[in-house]
Amino acid sequence: VCTQQELLPCKSLPETPLFQLLGLSIATLSTVAHYGLRFTLISNVSLDSNAYKVIHHTAFYFGICLSMTLILAALLSSAATVRESQCLTAMGFFCFALAFCGLIPAACWRYTHSTEVEDSMMDVYDFVYEEVRRNTSSFRRHELNAIHEAFLCCGKHSPFGDTTDVENKTCPPDQVHNEGQDCLQEIQGFLKKHMDFVFSLLGIAIGFTVYGMFLTSFLWFSIHFSSNLYRKGKYTLR
Could you please report the per-residue DSSP string of 68-137?
HHHHHHHHHHHHHHHHT-HHHHHHHHHHHHHHHHHHHHHHHHHHHTTTHHHHHHHHHHHHHHHHHHH-TT
For residue 4, pLDDT beyond 50? no
pTM of this prediction? 0.79
> Cα–Cα distance between 75 and 53 in angstroms, integer?
34
What does the chain come to in residues? 238
What pLDDT, on a 0 to 100 scale, did the predictor assign at position 98? 95
Residue 8 lies in a domain: no
Look at residue 80 and tell me if it is in a domain.
yes
Q: Could you give the C-alpha distances from 225 to 8, 61, 213, 218, 231, in angstroms and in order?
A: 20, 40, 18, 11, 10
Residue 54 main-chain phi, psi, to 5 deg? -65, -45
Residue 60's pLDDT is 94
| Three-state SS at 181 | strand
pLDDT digits (tens, 9 = 90+) for 92-146: 999 999 999 999 999 998 888 878 888 899 999 998 988 888 876 568 888 888 8
Query: What is residue 59's predicted lDDT score, i.e. its pLDDT?
Result: 92
- φ, ψ for residue 153 (rounded to 5)? -130, 175
Confidence of residue 202 (pLDDT cuts 50, 70, 90): very high
Residue 200 lies in a domain: yes
Number of domains composing the chain? 1
Q: Which domain holds residue 71?
A: 16-119+140-147+183-225
Query: Residue 100: inside a domain, yes or no?
Result: yes
Flag whether 127 is in a domain: no
